[in-house]
């Protein structure tokens, strides 16, 4: 996407038209690129960021921790999931699946447990006590990422949320089981 923007001499609108993407997603990618230029350039050249890539064990399997898989609660834009997937993350938003919209908080947590996905939500008041209860009951949860309730979530903020979530996922290799993180 960044290469297309470069080819269009930095014109996000033209690149969006060429890529058949909403302009706000292209703008989010540009914002993200501005914050993580070196990492994106390495990925663009096919090199793992920060010299990573993992090592192999005796069985020839990677010993690199498995990346955190993420489920975005329905209050978070599905555009965030789209951009994070373009960055190589395994992310799905509740809003992307019509059968998931309107699920209760308990059903969202059960869905996340079934799919092995940490939940990203701004609904701290409801999800945090439920997560603690699951741990106390011995069932556990797949991880919680909380956004403060007052965190702005307009279309213009998609890039900021993508950047913050991507940075958090980069800093959190492996599973988030029974853990919480805050943006």
Q: 86 and 120: one domain?
A: yes
Q: 25 and 103: one domain?
A: no
Tell me if 129 is assigned to some domain.
yes
Q: Is the pLDDT of residue 133 over 60?
A: yes
Report the length, in residues, of the chain: 183
| Higher local confidence (pLDDT), 6 or 61 | 6
Give the CA angle between residues 82, 99, 166 to the nearest 5°. 25
Q: 9 and 97: one domain?
A: no
Residue 65: CA atoms inside 13 Å, Cβ hemisphere, count?
A: 11
Tell me if 60 is assigned to some domain.
no
Tell me if 59 is assigned to some domain.
no
Residues of the chain with pLDDT > 90, as a percent, come to 37
Q: Is the pLDDT of residue 162 over 70?
A: yes
Q: 70 and 42: one domain?
A: no
pLDDT tens per residue, range 36-71: 666 666 555 555 545 444 444 444 444 445 689 999
Q: 74 and 102: one domain?
A: yes
Confidence of residue 91 (pLDDT cuts 50, 70, 90): very high
Which structural domain, as residue segments, surrounds residue 134?
A: 65-182
Q: 78 and 168: one domain?
A: yes
The answer to whether 29 and 43 have CB atoms below 8 angstroms apart is: no
Average pLDDT value over all residues in the chain:
78
Tell me if 101 is assigned to some domain.
yes
Q: 13 and 103: one domain?
A: no
């Amino acid at each position: 996407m960044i290469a297309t923007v470069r080819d269009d001499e930095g014109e996000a609108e033209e690149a969006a038209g060429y890529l058949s993407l909403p302009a706000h997603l292209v703008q989010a990618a540009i914002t993200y690129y501005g914050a993580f230029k070196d990492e994106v350039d390495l990925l663009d050249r096919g090199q793992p960021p920060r010299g990573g890539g993992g090592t192999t064990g005796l069985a020839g399997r990677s010993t690199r921790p498995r990346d955190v898989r993420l489920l975005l609660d329905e209050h978070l834009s599905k555009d965030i999931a789209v951009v994070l997937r373009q960055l190589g993350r395994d992310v799905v938003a509740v809003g992307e699946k019509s059968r998931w919209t309107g699920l209760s908080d308990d059903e969202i947590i059960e869905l996340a447990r079934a799919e092995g996905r940490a939940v990203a939500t701004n609904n701290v008041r409801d999800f945090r006590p439920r997560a603690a209860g699951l741990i106390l009951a011995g069932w556990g949860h797949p991880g919680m990422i909380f956004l403060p309730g007052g965190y702005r979530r307009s279309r213009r903020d998609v890039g900021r949320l993508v950047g913050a979530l991507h940075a958090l996922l980069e800093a959190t290799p492996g599973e988030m089981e029974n853990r919480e993180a805050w943006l």
